[in-house]
Every structure is written in C-alpha cells, then in structure tokens.
Structure 1
C-alpha cells in the first residue's frame, strides 16, 4: 500500500466501504490465491493427499463450478491442512511449507521493524536511514486502542476492536504484516508490508482477500480499502475488488468504479462525473464571511451528515460517555436536558454534531471519550 503523495493531491480518491459479503473475486484474484496455495502445499503433498483422502465426485464438481473464498484463504494454513498418515512412513504427510497467519496486537518488534525497512527500501526506494524504530512505532504501532465494545460485549465477546497486526509467517519466519483498524461495523486496511522476496506472489492482493474473509468470518459488515491514487501502480489492485464505488469530489455522490470511470481516470487526474454531466454545486461562502464558532454543523447542509430530526431519533440521552474510568449516560451530565443540539459550543451541540457525522450504527455501538 502507499502513503499520500503530497505533490499530487488532486489524484487522491476515496472508496466507499466494500460490503464484505457482496465481494466476488475476479479470475486473476482466484488465480493468485490458488497459485499461492499450490506453492505452500507442494506437489508431493497434493499428490499424497489426493490418494489418502480423495474427494467425492460431487465435491470435485462443486469445487470446479464454485469458488469458496473462506475455504481458499485457509486452504494452505497449517492449522487447516489435513495430514493423514502415510502408510509407507507411518507419519502424517506434511506440506512443502508451514504457513501460519495470526492476528496480534499492534506492538513493536525487531522482526516487524526489519521487515518494514526492507519493504520500504526495496518497494518504495526509500533510504533505510529514513526510518528509525520510533518513527516506525508512531506510523504503524500506535493506532486505535484495543478494547472490547461495552455495548456489544455481552453478545459478541469475540469481536475485536482497535488496531491489530495480521502477521504472516512462512516456515517460522515473518514475511508480511497487514495493519488493520477494527471498528464496530468494519475492517479498515491501514497498510501492508512484506518481504520483497515474495513480491511475485502478489501479497497485496492476497492480503486484501484474506481481510475480506476475516470481515465475513468475524461479522464485520464492511471492508475499508482507504484512499486510492489511480496513477499509482501499487494501488491499482484496489480498484479490482468489486463492487467498488468512488466519491465524487464535488457532489459527494458515490459513483461506480466501472468502465466509464476508469477510462476518465486514465485520461486525467481530476474526475467529477457531476461536473461532466453539467451539475453545478452551490457556491461556497467565503470563510471571512462566517464566524465558524457560531455556526452549527446542521446549518451548513454538508452531504452525508445527519439532520437534526435524524439525530434526535438516535436517543443521544443514552449514548455512553467514558469518564473517570466509568461509563455514564449523556443525560446524566449537568444541565444536559436544557442544552440545544444546534448550539455548537455546548457539550450537547458537540455530541450531536459528532453523532451526525458518525451515523446511527456507530452511535449504537460506541462510547465517547472526550479526554482520550
């Protein structure tokens, strides 16, 4: 993945979260993961496994006609591999390589740091002296706090929240790390770095498929691929995870990343379909004409932000506030009931604007920490 290039800000695009269950792998994606699985398992293991635990005719027909994402991403993981006893050796058959994937806290380790520097040097051509352990820690190891969700812990105790590292190990050696932010409704892909020796295996593509599978298995609704720069070849794989939608920078509508959009992105760095179709957004008010401290977010009419009636329907009174190591309801704050949601400098106004931006699903499954 790639950091933002400050020299080309107009090329930066945002993707709408991909609904994980709606994802359908393309042929090249299926080919990539099948190729990786064959590399890990090895021809000898596959030959012995076919003989010692053969599939039924129905199973063979089903596999030929259907691609199962969850089965495919786990097929070469050591914990999922069948290891029947070989009659000749009286020992379990073993794959060519031992491949393991674990989800771990975003802690710093020497192995992660060395792998990251190797990746940045070989893939992004950066000077190795640019990165010190503290810079690496600040960049990829100090993300969201890992904590259970107090509103869903009772019925979803296994659901992780916060920043995590999905670590890939081959024969005991760390070869790739996917940095993930887990929020109540989705998995956000922050960064992926890997050993350049495995670049031919398209690790970025494989990790994205595995993260979508992780989203489905752990009941996260969406997969967030973050920003996108069409001219960056290392990011092109993102556009191939469909259905994909891209944000119109002027109308704030979501447009499908289809043939028409791709053709326009290929020909120019700034694309707005609403402008191309003749839509003219309302003129912006000059900043010096407005005292922003006196203007409520609800008065601006920003696209995608909830209206006052919609926020009123969220029951802000019972939204949790984390204070002094305890959770309290908003209604327990002094003078809460007398405050107005449209008063931008009041605590109720601040909370209401936050809810309007986050939306109902996050409000229902989160708590506010104003001092965090």
Structure 2
C-alpha cells in the first residue's frame, strides 16, 4: 500500500452521493402516463478516474455524465438500463449501413473526381475485384478523407476527422447549441456553455496511452476525446468518446443541421466501430440500452452485440431470443432461468477488459443525472439491487485500509485512523462509514484498493 502522503496514480478519486430515487425519468415521462416515472440509481462524483478503473466500472453497469457516475437499479426502474458492447472484429455492416457510408463518400468526393481519378490512378484488376466483393469498413470510412485521396484531381469537398482533447471551444459549442436546439428542440434558455462544459468537456478521466503493441505496433490513446468532423474546414459534427484500455465508449454524438440529410449519427457510429477495430480497442460500447424506448432501438442494428447481465456481470449474446426476453419481461436477468425471472443462453467468458453515440443523443441520461439528489433517499445495502453485495456481505469486508482525502490534510488518510471509524456501524444509514460502505458495494469490494474517497470541497462550477 502507498504511504498516506503519496498520491499514487493508481487511485481513482470518488465522492459518494448515495442511492436515491430520481424525481423524473427522461425516457418515458411523456409516454407512460399514469405509471411511476421514477427510478433508483447509485450516484457518485468522480474527481479523477484512471481509464482502466473506469472500464471496470462500465463493465459493472456504470456510466458517467460529466463527473457524475451512476449505476442504475434495473429491478426498481420504469425503464431498465442495460449495458451493451459490440465486437468490432466480428462486425459486418448491413446493406443500409454500407449505403450510408457510400452515399457520404460520393457526396465528399463527387462524380467528377471519381471518374477522373479512375482514369489517372486506376486500380489493379485484383484490387478492383476485392473492393467489389469485400466492404472493408476501416478502408471505406477513410476513403473520402483529404489525406488519403490521390491528386490531381480535386474532390468536391475537403473532409477531415481529427481526435482532439475534450476541451471547450466556441467552434464546438456552436455545434452543440445547434444540435440541442434543432434536433432536440430544446428552448434557448436550456442551452448554455456551462451545460456543454459540464457534461461533454473536461472529463475526470486522466489522459494517457497504452503501451505500444496494437495492430499497427503503436500505443493507443486513453482518456476522453472529441472526434471532430470537418468539411471544407468547417466543423460539422463531434463525437464525444471515452477511450479505455479495451474499448471505445461512446458518450454523445452531435452534428450541425446542415448535414442531417447525410445520416451523420449512423456514420458516427460506424466511424467509432472502425476506430475500435483499427486501433486495437476491439470493443465498442454504445451506452445504455433501454428496450421500451423507441429511440434506443437503433443501437441493436449493429451486430454482434452482447448485453451485460446485471446479476452475474457476464456478457450474453443479444440475439433474437434475448430480444424476445426483453419483450416478455420488464426486468431481464440472463443468468437465471426465465421462470425464475431471467435466463437465456450461456454467459460469454470474453475477457472483462479491465457510455452514447446517436443521432438522438442521450439527453435523458443527462437530465436524470441532474436529479441525482432525488426526493427520496434510500439505503443501497437494503435495496436488493442486482449485482450489489448485501449488508451481511459488506459486514465481512475489511475497509480499514481504504484511503480518504479531506481538506484538512495534504496527505491521504487511512480509514482506520479516523477517530469515529470504530464507533460507527455500516448498518446505520447516513453515517460516514455506511456511506463509504455503499460506495464500496456499488463499485465492488474487489476494487477497494483502487479508490480514494475524496471528501474535499468541490467547486460549484
């Protein structure tokens, strides 16, 4: 263990908010009148997260909205959230997806360029045959980029995609403002630079890179980034991504209304899948899937996808039978037999690999995140939430060596050194020890050594 004064980079700094009932559901509030529009989740604030630790959280049903982390209770929810992931190495685009890429490429390149380039830079017969018979996703998404086009001639438009830090710029905010106002029809007074910065910029994920050794022998970037799409030098779309050791996690996708006709949401998803394949991340996480929300159905058009079982935290193939299970039951657990309330197929022992790209975005998650304070607090350890240890289980967990940080000390503090530590009981909701026990249970007791409970005062900005 690190000495208390040494802030080791292995730690992720979290502040426990607690388990609460959101006052409103952003998914069904306008479609399920007369029914409860509340849902329970556990919430925490992240001061700093290592990419490896956050990937472990995502593989345990967590997601983030800005610095707010939350893990929903699928049993106690009007709209149960399920984590999905796609294997980019096995992905085969559908006819509709291939057509979307080809349509966009033709728009950028132009017929005149295609004709003249074929004459000046002809493909070999074997290459032409291969291209006709095989749709290489990575190749096709790069095809219209200016740096990959041969010249002369010149294409109709100059297209470029860059991976940039997730920092605020007025250029990005202009896309956000247009997207929220036109696509989501939000009133101007609900759209602000503060909101954009809070949810889509300056994430708590630390930025770095993996060791070299990907498909191209290069290191993979880690952290939060903005994938920026520019046509003729003008920013037209931004994909907000969390790049983790073994996945590309989609946070949000926004675009300018002028390219709506080009189906940018679909193009963005395909581009992110291509990034996962090309750079060696392998997995693409499209964020939560909410089966009873029609706007979420686009996510299951990308195959093969796996759904995370909330109880055994293993991955199950999201096939027709699995979707039928969602149709039949409000809460679905794939690790138990259907008559017992879950069960389908076999859990996939794909390495767990130690989160919303969409035309419609994931504003519902953001809106719900803002309600984290909730109007009814509850006790996580008595909630019977899927995948969470019970109170009896947590009573056997040794939290004495857990580290904390507070304003009154520049050093990290070992929990057992607190004066009140041995006098408090985790079974008493609201006490410091019970709040910490809830966080450890929600994260997973096996990750206790990777977190620091951060009780420092946070900026209101």
Asked whether the equivalents of residues 250 and 272 of structure 1 are also in contact (C-alpha less than 8 Å), the reply is: no
Relative to structure 1, is the Cα distance of residues 299 and 140 closer, same or farther in structure 2, using a 3 angstrom cutoff?
same
2: distance between equivalents of 1:251 and 1:277? 15
Alpha-carbon distance change, 289 to 11 in structure 1, aligned in 2, over 3 angstroms: closer
Distance 1:289 1:109 in 2: 42
8 Å CA contact 1:10–1:269 kept in 2: the answer is no
Helix, strand or coil at the partner of 2:250:
strand
Is the 8 Å Cα contact of residues 144 and 181 (structure 1) preserved in structure 2? no
| Residue among 130, 142, 156 paired with 1:96 | 156
1:154 to partner: Cα distance: 6.9
- Unpaired runs of 5+ in structure 2? 1-24, 30-36, 38-76, 343-377, 398-403, 406-413, 417-425, 427-432, 457-461
Task: Trace 1:232-247 onto structure 2 (pairs within 5 A).
Answer: 232-247=293-308
Q: Identify if the C-alpha distance between structure 1 residues 141 and 264 changes in structure 2 by more than 3 Å, giving closer, same or farther.
A: same
Is the 8 Å Cα contact of residues 28 and 293 (structure 2) preserved in structure 1? no
The one of 108, 111, 117 aligned to 1:49:
117
Is the aligned partner of 1:182 residue 2:243?
yes
> 1 CA distance for matches of 2:304 and 2:212?
33
Normalized per residue, the structure richer in helix is 1
2:241 match: secondary structure: strand
- Give distance in 1, aligned partners of 2:105 and 2:132: 16
1:258 alignment counterpart: 319
C-alpha distance in structure 2 between counterparts of 1:278 and 1:145, whole Å = 41
In structure 2, do the counterparts of structure 1 residues 288 and 25 end up closer, same or farther at CA, with 3 Å as the change threshold?
closer
TM-score by length of 1: 0.71
Cα distance change on mapping 1:200 and 1:262 into 2, 3 Å: farther
In the alignment, which residue of structure 2 is the partner of 1:212? 273
Query: What whole-Å deviation, never above 9, does each CA across 1:226-273 have from its counterpart, x for those lacking one?
Result: 1123454443221111111234567766443333444565x5782526
Q: Label 1:136 to 1:288 Cα distance change in 2 as closer, same or farther (>3 A).
A: closer
Cα separation, 1, equivalents of 2:169 and 2:136: 34
The 1:357–1:61 alpha-carbon spacing in structure 2 relative to 1, beyond 3 Å, is farther
Conserved 8 A contact 1:298-1:353: no
**CA-atom RMSD, angstroms?**
4.5
CA spacing shift, 1:216–1:357, aligned 2, 3 Å: farther
Cα displacement (A) at 1:223: 1.2
Q: 2:138 aligned with 1:58, yes or no?
A: no
Distance 2:263 2:318 in 1: 22
Task: Please identify, of 187-196 and 9-18, the stretch whose mean Cα deviation from structure 2 is larger.
Answer: 9-18
Structure 2: distance between partners of 1:181 and 1:38: 30
CA distance 1:192–1:22, change in 2 (3 Å): same
- Larger-Rg structure: 1
Q: Report what 1:5 is aligned to.
A: 27
Highest RCO, 1 vs 2 (Cα 8 Å, sep ≥ 6): 2
Alignment partner, residue 198 of structure 2: 138
Q: State whether residues 13 and 246 of structure 1, in contact with CA within 8 Å, keep that contact through their aligned partners in structure 2.
A: no
CA 1:178–1:334: 2 relative to 1, 3 Å: closer
Corresponding residue to 2:181 among 121, 124, 127: 121
Inter-partner Cα distance in structure 1 for 2:380 and 2:162: 52
Q: Distance in 2 between matches of 1:287 and 1:355?
A: 16
Aligned CA distance change for structure 1 residues 358 and 204 (closer, same or farther; 3 Å): farther
Are 1:82 and 2:150 matched, yes or no?
yes
TM-score by length of 2: 0.58
Helix, strand or coil: the match of 1:100? strand
Structure 1's 280 and 98: CA in aligned 2 closer, same or farther, altered over 3 A? closer
CA deviation digits over 1:86-129, x for unaligned, max 9? xxxxxx21101111100001111112112111111111111122
Report the CA distance between 1:144 and its aligned residue.
3.2
Q: Which position in structure 2 is the counterpart of 1:341? A: none
Name the SS of the counterpart of 1:18 in structure 2: strand
Q: Distance in 1 between matches of 2:240 and 2:380?
A: 41
Out of 61, 71, 77, the position equivalent to 2:139 is: 71
Aligned to 2:332: 272
1:218–1:255 distance in 2 versus 1, CA, 3 Å: closer
1:4 offset after TM fit, Å? 4.8
Secondary structure at 2:284 match in 1: strand
